[in-house]
Amino acid sequence: MTITGEKDMEIARKQNVDILLVHPSLDVEQDRKKRLTIRVDKKIPNQESPPLGMGYLIAVARQHGLRAKFIDMGVSHFTVEDLLEHIGEVNPKLVGFTAYTVQIKSAAFIAKEIKKRFPALTVCVGGVHATVTPKETLEEFEDFDFAVCGEAELLLPKILDSIDRGTPLSDVAGVVTRDKKEFSRQAIERLDDLPFPAWEDFDLTDYQGCYPHRTNLELPMTTSRGCPYSCVFCVRAFGQRRRSRSVQSVLSEIERNIEDFGCESICFVDETFMFDLKWCNELFEQMIERGLNKKVTWSCSTRVNNVSPELFRLMRKAGCYYVFFGLESGDEKILKAIKKRITIDQIKNAIQWAKEARLICVGSFIIGLPGETAETVNKNIELAQELDLYSITFPIAVPFPKTALRDMAVRHEHGLRILSNNWDDYGKQYPGVMESDDLKIEKRRELQKKGYELNPKKNIEEYIQRVFGEVPDNCRAAVI
């Protein structure tokens, strides 16, 4: 930016930020096409939810008097050159990337371009991949100055303070540097202490929702962090110890979302939303008592072993319209091998009870889990047909870093082997980066294609009319 006078200097000062948070994309058009392909219905936007983690970080920054800005490159159509120009305009003290495994190489490439243009600028990386493999990430990608290991809301103010003071970042617990020998993940004990996500800093018209809510605005929420279960394919970036917000805190955020942003639907994105049933019952009853069930619809995901007909009926009364189930397999032996701790009977019962409560049911079966054969995958496909869900996905098993599944594949248990360590290929639909003696990668792709062909995408209006016979009141917004 060329400064031509005092006015321009003032503009430049106003534009400066302390931290620029970035969600990476190297091909915004390709990312847009990917989002379109995973829609259940072409007419219904989904998988486009505002990033909850970034909302929390911006709110925490503001709470500490820091200036933070977030760029979602794919959603905002920011090219790498656009980002570089923007960095020159806002002059951040720190650029922080958030990335899943499949995005980490894109983040690293952009970090390299930033370092070329602004060699003195500090660049860090957080998100799931860096949290579980901080040392390995820094060894693989030299342009990240440090990695954030754990829940960054605790660390952000300390990191900026360290940069301002010029003290070693390695002194900050939860920050991992190349010369740091010991480190541990940082976890927030009292989630109620967090400020609500700073949605006022987002253009929410860019994010049309995670699930097919069919309202003017859906916002994501989380009521807990951590998952106490031990499924072999899961990373559990928030750890295995579950921490929960109070019911009052959750209700206050729902009311804030309605009053301040005109929110009409909530997507609960917890790893284990339906865990403490006493807590759930209190939340749902309070939503009914406060009339929130008349103001918002909501969706969630849950396991099949912690539910009942009464619970689903209460959920529906409280405003729920849509439930995602992680089913994983239609074979009892596979379910035991992956430590899912559910049974086929529990799967069938949960879906039946949810349908009887007139909730839209969706789910997922993973192809290529330990011990998988073509026969067991066909059981998945047959069970999916029997369950008659609104939407069903068939991701190919991915040996993500630091999962038990990856350890199995490294040890060649169940004949498993990893085909590629190219993180760009670590998406769940294609191309697949693991196979076994009993199920080669080509067969996995073939069976995935068969699964989708025999369980095609459905029209939501037709599906609800066929399954429910009529449109339930709390589903009406989802179909009108």
Residue 396 carries which DSSP code?
B
Residue 254's CB is within 10 A of a number of other CB atoms, namely 23
| Average pLDDT of every residue of the chain | 90
> What is the percent of the chain where pLDDT is above 70?
91
pLDDT along the chain (480 residues), means of 10: 38 70 86 68 70 96 95 92 96 96 96 97 95 95 94 93 93 92 83 96 89 88 93 88 95 98 95 92 98 96 95 97 95 96 97 95 96 97 96 95 96 96 92 96 97 88 81 55
Strand, helix or coil for residue 464: helix
User: What pLDDT, on the 0 to 100 scale, is given for residue 2?
Assistant: 32
- 305 contacts 341 by C-beta, under 8 angstroms: yes
Q: Omega before 51 cis (within 30°)? A: no
- 306 contacts 345 by C-beta, under 8 angstroms: no
Radius of gyration of the chain (CA): 23
User: What pLDDT, on the 0 to 100 scale, is given for residue 479?
Assistant: 47
Domains of the chain, with CATH numbers? 6-176 (3.40.50.280), 209-479 (3.80.30.20)
Residue 469's CB is within 10 A of a number of other CB atoms, namely 9
Q: Convert 374-394 to b/e letters by CB count within 10 Å (16 or more is b).
A: eebbbbbbebbeebebbbbbb
User: What pLDDT, on the 0 to 100 scale, is given for residue 107?
Assistant: 97
User: What pLDDT, on the 0 to 100 scale, is given for residue 41?
Assistant: 67
Residues near 375 by Cβ (< 8 Å), separated by ≥ 6? none
Nearest partner of 1 among 91, 89, 73, judged by Cα:
89
Q: Convert 76-91 to b/e letters by CB count within 10 Å (16 or more is b).
A: bebebeebbebbeebb
Condensed to tens digits (0 to 9), the pLDDT of residues 126-138 reads 999 999 999 999 9
Query: What stretch of H or E contains 94?
Result: strand 94-98
Residue 202 carries which DSSP code?
S
Condensed to tens digits (0 to 9), the pLDDT of residues 353-394 reads 999 999 999 999 999 999 999 999 999 999 999 999 999 999
Nearest partner of 173 among 151, 194, 190, 189, judged by Cα:
151
Condensed to tens digits (0 to 9), the pLDDT of residues 394-431 reads 999 999 999 999 999 999 999 999 999 999 999 888 89
Q: List residues bridging with 19 in a β-sheet.
A: 68, 94
Sheet containing 68-72: order of strands? 68-72, 19-23, 94-98, 122-126, 146-148, 175-176
- Cα gap 374→363, rounded to integer Å: 20
The sign of the CA dihedral 133, 193, 221, 111 is: negative
